[in-house]
Structure 1
Amino acid sequence: MKKFSYLLMLMMALTACNDDSKNADLADNLEKVEKAPALIKEYGFTLNGYDVVRDTIRSGDSFGIILGSHGVDPAKIFQIVEKVKDTFNPRKIVIGKPYVILKEKDSLNSPKVFIYENDRINYTVVDLRDSISVYTAKKPVTIVKREVAGVINSSLSETIEEEGLNYLLAHQMNNIYQWSIDFFRLQKGDRFKLVYKERYIDDTIYAGIENIEAAVFYHQDKPYYAFNFLADSTAGKYDYYDEKARPLQSFFLKAPVDYFRISSRFSPRRFHPVQKRWKAHKGTDYAAGYGTPIKTTANGVVIASSYTAGNGNYVKVKHNGTYTTQYLHMSKRAVKTGQRVKQGEVIGYVGSTGLATGPHVCYRFWVNGVQVDPFRQNLPSAEPLEEKYVPSYFAAIEPLKEELEKIPFEEIEI
């Protein structure tokens, strides 16, 4: 009996040792798993397998200089440039743009991938691993819907800032309502509601506004609705319409530049600041910073893109048999004679060439061959929504209108 008890105790001891050994092995394995580095994936690559170099394009940099500084010989660089230039033009890399180089983790440490960020979402990959190839791609983007309201206390931009919203909302609202609301004449107590979408890269990095889906702006207690609707499915063209399916857009833009002030209006008699004499000023001067893009105010054909001593660099656009516009004193022209242009297309940049004392664009307007003040014209609206789309438009905006109604205002003392 004593022998049996001894044997039983011995077996129990051995089993306990065995369990301790297994537990120790399990703990070691768990520790190894915990210490394993997390996989870092970006641009479609697992970065753990490379030495990663992140930098930005600097003044004096070129594609060749950057690769050369990382050990790529000139003959190889020439071969790469010739292979990729039709998709990625190395001469057009922009100062300040980020780039990433993935290098082999070996003694040579040679570059295997060059990634150039075209913007915050789009990037170009030059793959040097097997054969040279190039392609463009996008970072994963999440769309987030937001609802906001604001009450004007001083200006639209200040209200946007006070609400903690992106300043680009003010710019987009101005674009939507530029034909119906003068944002320079807003009144205290005017208010707005918006339903819009924002973009986020990898769910965390803010990447701007996708679009404003619906808006209502109460100006002098009158509601101005705007709904974004796919008016042309073939061209993928969206436009804004009001609650009665009427287009918000006019045949003409309100101004040829964004972020401006009117420094001189159309006048039969004005003292010319350069010629120092009284004469008619048959245009409207929009003061803006050097290099500000100038946009054609309506669709048309460029009938002149030239230079004269008085006009400086100028562009003239014929829109139809009735209307023609002209844009003077450009620092640089961006279109050629005979070119077709669409409303809002950049045709040049603000400057002070010709008879000008400072950076501005002189905007001239003709009706049936006679120069007139565009602010005094009853200008036509844009093309109406096709009748066949009207029922689907009303069906689409009904839930958006209800959504706008439910957004509360934060009341302020007026």
Structure 2
Amino acid sequence: MKYQFPFLFFICFVIISCNKTTEENISAEEIYEAPPEIVKEYGYVLDDFVVERDTVQSGDSFGKILFEANVDYATIQEISDSVQPVFNTSRIRPGKPYVVLKSKDSIEAAKVFIYEQSREDYVVLDFQSTVKASLEKHPTTTYEREISGVIDSNLSSTFDDLGVSVNVAYKMADIYAWTIDFFKLQKGDRFKAIYEERFVNDTIPAGIGKIKAVLFEHAGREMYAFRFENDSLPGSFDFFDENGDNLRRAFLKGPLKFSRISSRYNLKRRIKYYGYRLRPHKGTDFAGAIGTPILATADGVVTKSERRGGNGNYVKIRHNATYDTQYLHMQKRNVKVGQSVRQGDVIGTIGMTGNSGGPHVCYRFWKNGRQVDPFKQDLPASKPLAENLVPIYDSIRKPLQTRLDGIPWFSETVDQVELQEELALSIQ
């Protein structure tokens, strides 16, 4: 019995000591205050300003926006003149977001103007002390996507059904512009692709990046395309098939990205309006809306750019000692005589100048000084892949081809959106 009291005393001491320590901790937590969060955007601490966010409305101007933000007209003019080399303030457009950072005082005058030119690009005009202007970019994250689809009616509607940007379709059409006539796609044609997509803040789409690999099956024929960049020419790239053959040809199939042929090359054409007299048509007419861009079908030098007679506004390009091309009835010409152009450059827009019954471009193809049907010519391919680059190309192609082959073909029994979500891969 003589040991009970000290034992009880020890237990009570421990319990009381523990309780006391806990109360002290709780008390310490109650009096602790976390430092305020500093929110920065566009490089500015937002809490230092009154922040106004809005969208340019019809009738708005840079001057109007700043005047309503308590900046006088003389200062507005000084700002506009100072930033002119970097940003033309007259070019703000309705629908574009902007942010005004104002002083935190009774006047609340604008000190910084931020204009969102695109989802990625923005301009900052800072006139707190001196006037400064800078073009900036939002940080983006790039994701790699894998898609699979089947043509039901046309390429663009197929991509709409997939929930994928139609810009991927346009880039695919560019890749196969020399090997597939996209005006004649068939129901059941199908494709797989690996491409990059950029996002701002991981949520806002900022555009399509590189198309890295495609497998397109057209009329039962499978055609691979792999992007390959030549390190000796930065920014220079082409698409090659599984054998290393270049998909690009010396000439595009036509001068428009998307259109229909309204009248073909025909030396035996007879027209009712002219009493069925023989009136040969030595060109191929591509119909399109007025203002549609007209593309140079191959590299070359402009030899004619003028308006004359039934041709209306037209451009003629010399490609080499053998081939010339001509583009008639333009609304507007974008090139001058002596100017060098690259395949795919916009040389003008569709119009109805000269003898034209509707908006179109008459595309004429010359071989050794004689007009011929471009669709009946065995046109040359572009330069093949250099032998010393083949091993490097194969090291890039082989893993991409393995991935393409592993992507399941789209089946109508599978939901397209669910399939794309399963295929999405991050390459942060």
> What is the percentage of aligned positions where both structures have the same residue?
48
Which residue is equivalent to 1:229?
A: 228
Q: Quick check: 1:405 aligned with 2:408?
A: no
Cα deviation, 1:27-75, whole Å, max 9, x if unaligned, reads 3645x76xx5x55443333333322333344444443333333232233
Q: Could you say what secondary structure the match of 2:280 adopts?
A: strand
Cα deviation, 1:264-321, whole Å, max 9, x if unaligned, reads 1112244669988752222111111222211111111222222234222222222222
The code of the aligned residue for 1:96 comes to: G
Q: Could you say what secondary structure the match of 2:74 adopts?
A: helix
Which residue is equivalent to 1:380?
A: 380
Which residue is equivalent to 1:179?
A: 178
Contact 2:119 2:205 in 1 (8 A): no
The code of the aligned residue for 2:393 comes to: Y
TM-score (norm 1): 0.86
Larger displacement relative to structure 2 (164-173 or 368-377): 164-173
Which residue is equivalent to 2:298?
A: 298
TM-score (norm 2): 0.83
Query: Matches of 2:347 and 2:68 in 1, distance apart?
Result: 39
Shift, 1:343, TM fit? 1.2
The code of the aligned residue for 1:125 comes to: V
Which residue is equivalent to 1:148?
A: 147
Cα deviation, 1:140-175, whole Å, max 9, x if unaligned, reads 111101112223344433433333322222212111
Larger displacement relative to structure 2 (153-162 or 256-265): 153-162
Higher relative contact order (CA 8 A, sep 6+): 2
Of 18, 21, 27, 2:30 maps to: 27
Shift, 1:195, TM fit? 1.2
Shift, 1:225, TM fit? 0.6
Pairs within 5 Å for 1:151-166? 151-166=150-165
Structure 1 spans left out of the alignment, 5+ residues: 1-11
Which residue is equivalent to 1:339?
A: 339
Which residue is equivalent to 2:392?
A: 392
Contact 1:302 1:339 in 2 (8 A): yes
Q: C-alpha root-mean-square deviation of aligned residues, in Å?
A: 3.0
The code of the aligned residue for 1:341 comes to: V
Query: Matches of 2:89 and 2:273 in 1, distance apart?
Result: 44
Which residue is equivalent to 1:287?
A: 287
Larger displacement relative to structure 2 (351-360 or 193-202): 351-360
Larger displacement relative to structure 2 (124-133 or 93-102): 93-102
Query: Matches of 2:32 and 2:275 in 1, distance apart?
Result: 89
The code of the aligned residue for 1:110 comes to: A
Q: Quick check: 1:125 aligned with 2:128?
A: no
Rate the CA distance shift 1:105–1:328 in 2: closer, same or farther, 3 A. farther
Report the count of equivalent residues: 399
Query: Matches of 1:61 and 1:308 in 2, distance apart?
Result: 43
Query: Matches of 1:175 and 1:407 in 2, distance apart?
Result: 22
Contact 1:274 1:357 in 2 (8 A): no
Contact 1:273 1:357 in 2 (8 A): no
Query: Matches of 1:259 and 1:102 in 2, distance apart?
Result: 45
Rate the CA distance shift 1:196–1:356 in 2: closer, same or farther, 3 A. same
Contact 1:231 1:385 in 2 (8 A): no
